[in-house]
Homo-oligomer: A and B are copies of this chain.
């Protein structure tokens, strides 16, 4: 069972178009960051046969095609959306290829406001009768996360939405762990994935207890109205004490090598292509 960091960059990506800064021109591949997204790839055990391969994405950003090719993703059973911003949703159309390969629709899980956004932006998918040509459009099944953010048990994993604040916009992170009675396991579970956040409301703190892994927003050192700084992320990490923490959604102010040196033990900058598997790197 693997956790893939498909992208670890902020909304413009790193390098940024037209930028000649040290990070944007760095030769270190860890300084090249596609838009933040992740995938969990595993085999779902079965009592009746030898199991079913599963891939579940967190967000579908504009780099999804490039990310899927690089990680050699061959299917997509579901996508859990954190929120409706372009850098987390504008790759949804790429899943048409997964529909072809797996001959099945892709399940979408999102809050009501994100689903409304997807329906507006992807009208050709959700309201194909309006299409002028009989176009080949993505096949999806929408599932609404409940307003109370009840857990979703899917393919052996429990996904519990975590309320986060992304500036003034309420978004979600996810606590991911084996579903009750599931035989699935990985040393990096339970994992909480909290990108695009500037604050954690009181009710969300308990969902960050007892983690093996915390993935958390850390845009840069300088303050930002809708993202955590590296210091703010470290303060949260220090309070909830996961076994390991990975910072994500970094901007081009963050040099991987230089920043990693300054982080405390157990905390790493994530980078595109990093995979958590049977051993945690």
Q: Which residues of A contact B (CB under 8 A)?
A: 12-13, 15-19, 62-63, 65-66, 68-69, 73-75, 86, 90-91, 93-94, 96-98, 100-101, 120-121, 123-124, 132-135, 166-169, 225-226
Q: Which of B93, B121, B124, B166 contacts A133 (CB 8 A)?
A: B166
Q: How far is the CA of A226 from the CA of B74 in the complex (A)?
A: 28
Asked if residues A225 and B133 are in contact (CB atoms below 8 Å), the reply is yes
For this complex, 18 residue pairs linking A to B, each with C-beta atoms less than 8 Å apart, are: A12-B96, A12-B97, A13-B65, A17-B73, A18-B68, A18-B73, A18-B75, A18-B100, A19-B97, A62-B91, A86-B93, A86-B124, A120-B120, A120-B123, A121-B121, A132-B167, A133-B166, A133-B226
Q: Which of B15, B69, B134 contacts A225 (CB 8 A)?
A: B134
Asked if residues A101 and B69 are in contact (CB atoms below 8 Å), the reply is no
Asked if residues A168 and B132 are in contact (CB atoms below 8 Å), the reply is yes
Asked if residues A98 and B17 are in contact (CB atoms below 8 Å), the reply is yes
Given contacts A18-B100, A90-B93, A100-B18, contact A132 B169 (CB under 8 A): yes
Asked if residues B18 and A74 are in contact (CB atoms below 8 Å), the reply is yes
Asked if residues A133 and B90 are in contact (CB atoms below 8 Å), the reply is no
Q: How far is the CA of A159 from the CA of B58 in the complex (A)?
A: 42
CB-CB < 8 A to A100: which residues of B?
Answer: 18
CB-CB < 8 A to A101: which residues of B?
Answer: 17-19
CB-CB < 8 A to A75: which residues of B?
Answer: 18
Q: How far is the CA of A86 from the CA of B19 in the complex (A)?
A: 27
A94 to chain B: closest residue by CB: B17
Given contacts A90-B90, A120-B123, A226-B133, contact A97 B169 (CB under 8 A): no
CB-CB < 8 A to A124: which residues of B?
Answer: 86
CB-CB < 8 A to A17: which residues of B?
Answer: 65, 68-69, 73, 94, 97-98, 101
Q: How far is the CA of A168 from the CA of B132 in the complex (A)?
A: 6
CB distance from A57 to the nearest CB of B (A): 12
CB distance from A166 to the nearest CB of B (A): 7
Asked if residues A69 and B226 are in contact (CB atoms below 8 Å), the reply is no
Q: How far is the CA of A121 from the CA of B75 in the complex (A)?
A: 27
CB distance from A42 to the nearest CB of B (A): 17
Asked if residues B133 and A69 are in contact (CB atoms below 8 Å), the reply is no
A91 to chain B: closest residue by CB: B62
A32 to chain B: closest residue by CB: B69
CB distance from A101 to the nearest CB of B (A): 4
